[in-house]
Chains A and B, each alone.
Chain A
Amino acid sequence: MTGSWRAFGRLLLLQASWTYERMQGVGMGFAALPLLQPLRAEPERYRAAVARAADYFNANPYLAGIALGAEARAELDGAPGEQVQRLRTALCGPLGSLGDQLFWVGLVPGLAGLTLSGATGGGGAWVVAAFVALHNAVRLGVGYWALRAGAAAGLGVSGALARSKLPLAAAYAGRFAGFGVGIALPAVGAWFLRAGGAAGWLAAGAAALAGAGVARVQVRLPSPVTLTLVALALALLWRWSGA
């Protein structure tokens, strides 16, 4: 499809104009402009397509290319505007849920966990560099594949999405995340608290168990960041009060 590389580049800026009104909509419109160039010969059709492309949209940014490609293909093929709009609306939920499961709940915490254990286990900065390289290889590869797959499928994109390996990958990504973070917890705790002896280990284990317990029973407490800041302030006061 003409302009697909430029559209892909613009997709990397998808959320720059994020608003509560249209969410990623204007970003989608911006990314769609190179793909809609062939319609410029018909100004009315072109402007209607641009208006639809910049309307409300929200999905996982890494997979948004599927919707962008499918919508552009439908517009170029002359599909009715209402049908294009329905397609766009229908894709928001699945692409948001699938992408968030695959990346934010799966790949990112899993890779971050493995990176933490590798970096603290002696790999140092090289493991961190590998984390960035690997994540971006997957992120850019999936992003470009998504745009191509959407553009190839057009209005039939829902079926193409269901037939793809993404739902399966999302399920495995979650398990990977659990495993990666699981390995990281003792590795990082040991790295920091090794000098603290048995007391350090006890404190680290108790803190991790408390966090897991609070999440497990769904007790409503202030966020871990707030709790830690309060604990730091109390520790400082306790020390400075001469205890």
Chain B
Amino acid sequence: MSPGPGPLAELVVWGTLAGLDLVSVLQGMLARPLVAGTVSGWLLGDLGTGLRIGAALELFALDVLPIGAARYPDLAAATVGAVTAAAGAGWSRVLGASVGLGLVLGLVGGVSLPLVRRLNARVLRAHAAGLTSGDPAAVRAVHLRGLAHDLGRSLVLALLAVAAGVALRGWTLLDQVTGEWLTATAVAGGLYAAAHGAVATVRQRGRLPWLLAGLSVGLLLLTL
């Protein structure tokens, strides 16, 4: 059964807030897939699936350094869409397809970031004289317009993600075996991404022993 307008509106609001958190407001980790997914699952009454989708997409986020002008996927609203598609169905069948949807939406979100930056640049050029002369009104105008641009970007992405999630909800065309194959593939991809990110950031700084120590402890904990 499709969620009612109330939960869908809440998902759009949550996706928008999480999208704003990625760059413009706070950067308080609301945009991390693990957080965005868990809250989305809670809003849809399926916390477990939200946590699982969030954890799978978080593995990909561990390979991302959201620094300065770098280009990276925006997985905030994307995770909301992925959870919307998966909630209420058995996770082992739908997780892989939903993670795939989340990654595609994340790439779309990633493309939207430079677009907003170009819009900001247009406003900046329009107020160039005011900024150069130190007019505080020009500073406020450029900054608040930038905030409005990112709010619009996040809202559009959240609407797109929730609409896609509703359209694909339950992945009814997927049989159990195919779904499990996709789930195994998506999890393997996530582990590849997380290991890639971990080694790429520790490679030149002598942190490899700590990664290996963590791996050893993790494996040891599994045997307990």
**How many contacts between A and B, using CB within 8 angstroms?**
321
Closest to A134 in B: B29
A66-74, A83-91, A151-159, A200-208 - interface stretch: A200-208
Contact of B143 among A17, A177, A209 (CB under 8 A): A17
Residues of B contacting A: mostly: helix
B91 shortest CB reach to chain A, Å: 9
Does B177 lie at the interface of the complex (its beta carbon under 8 Å from any beta carbon of A)? yes
Contact of B187 among A115, A193, A210, A223 (CB under 8 A): A193
**B53-99 CB contacts (< 8 Å) to partner A:** 54-56, 58-63, 65-69, 73, 92, 95-97, 99
Interface residues of B (CB under 8 A from A): 23-30, 32, 34-35, 38, 42, 47, 51-52, 54-56, 58-63, 65-69, 73, 92, 95-97, 99-100, 103-104, 106-107, 117, 120-121, 123-124, 131-136, 139-140, 142-147, 150, 177-178, 181-203, 205, 207-219, 221-222
Residues of A close to B97: CB separation below 8 A: 232
Closest to B20 in A: A16
**Cβ–Cβ contact B136 & A33, under 8 A:** yes
A85 shortest CB reach to chain B, Å: 13
Contact of A207 among B99, B123, B135, B192 (CB under 8 A): B192
A26→B8 CA distance, assembly (Å): 35
Query: Contacts A124-B51, A189-B187, A225-B106 given: A210-B192 contact, CB under 8 Å?
Result: yes
- Not counting A17-B124, A182-B211, A188-B194, a sample of 8 additional A-B residue pairs whose C-beta atoms are within 8 angstroms of each other reads A12-B26, A16-B146, A17-B123, A30-B143, A179-B213, A185-B218, A206-B188, A235-B96
